[in-house]
Amino acid sequence: MRSLEEKECNRKCLLTSWLLEQRRNGIECPIITSEVIEDMKQRSHMSVPDRADEILKYLKLETQEPGRSITCSHSIYVEQLVYDNNSFDEISLTKKHKAYYNLLAYSESSTYNELKYLLKYLKKKDYIELEYNEEPFNKKISCLLTVEGYDRLKKIQQETKIESSTDMDKMQDTTDENRVDNENIRIFISYSWDNENHKQWVKSLAERLRNDGIEAILDQWELAPGDQVPHFMEKNIRESDHVLIICTSSYCEKSNNRRDGVGYEDNVMTAEVCQKENHRKFIPVLAKGSRAEAIPSWLNGKYYLDLSTNEIYERGYLELKRTLLGERPTAPPVRRRSANG
């Protein structure tokens, strides 16, 4: 049996690969939740051929054209710094060191020897040319994509297109009703620019919602210099299926006093509630502070979702997602009473 230390190392390796995958999908700050951690525990490594293919993709990404090689460097000293800091943020890495850690992440490898094995596998297939220089404390590997390697990448691309086409065919077999439902999940996020940390918190929430299939509209992505801000607010509040109201003490103060953009949005929202009585469209989300200090007066008495602390964030987010997707639990059917009671 593998040691606990080895299992933990493999989980960290898979988590690193997951983070890389999320960033490649456009999510700048992926949120590592308890669900993600649990998924990593259950997840198994890709097969050796699949991991090798991921290395080819990385080499193509870095070299861009035939004839250019990439060199990666594994230093015992740098590795110790990485483990001590538990991140790369505080460490000045050379391009060669970054290439090494990127290759580890792309191929779900946790050690130099594991990566070396995959590179030798690629060399045996004639997909790359490989040279390495193994000094006691600093190992260097140079890789060059061959013509066969480029052919393999073209084949991977063709296989991916076929899979995508098959997936599209399956999607077209769904009912029109389901397609309409998926298209209509659109939300607008109303919040105040308290500070950069809060803006990032809201952005991360929006990114996760979009990753879960919900079209979250956020001013940080949609507005550009010269746009009419009031029109942007009115249009998206009016056309969205739901509006998330991110409540903080600053938002509450601006809402209650009808100040700035928050005050303008609240005027639009309260007017719509008065006209249509569509109370469930507007969902308060407590981001920071207590209910009394963060939730505006016009939202008092409404059922709100609490995402204000790390301990309850995940539970609140899952309830939010179920609400937006129409997946909240419903009451079981009432059993019909018999004639005899």
Give 93-155 as a DSSP string.
Answer: --HHHHHHHHHHHHTT--SHHHHHHHHHHHHHTTSEEEEEEE-SSEEEEEEEE-HHHHHHHHH
Residues of the chain with confidence (pLDDT) below 50: 1-2, 4-5, 82, 85-91, 171, 174-182
Amino acid 178: pLDDT: 44
In a domain, 335, yes or no: no
Q: Mutual orientation of helices 229-239 and 260-276 as an angle, nearest 10°?
A: 30
* Sign of the torsion angle spanned by Cα atoms 263, 267, 273, 276: negative
Strand-strand pairing, 215-217 and 305-306: unpaired
Q: Which amino acid is at 37?
A: I
pLDDT in the model for residue 87: 47
- How many structural domains is the chain composed of? 2
Question: What is the rounded distance in angstroms from the CA atom of residue 217 to the CA atom of residue 202?
Answer: 11
What is residue 212's three-state secondary structure? coil
Q: Say whether both 145 and 183 belong to one domain.
A: no
Residues 320 and 182 in one domain: yes
- Residue 269: inside a domain: yes
Res 175: pLDDT: 38
Looking at the structure, do residues 136 and 206 belong to the same domain, yes or no? no
150, 168, 197 — which closes off a domain? 150
Model pTM score: 0.48
Phi first, then psi, for residue 162 (nearest 5°) are -65, -45
Domain ends where: 150, 169, 204? Answer: 150
The answer to whether residue 312 sits within a structural domain is yes
CATH of the domain at 145: 1.10.10
Which residue range forms the structural domain that includes residue 204? 178-324
The answer to whether residue 207 sits within a structural domain is yes
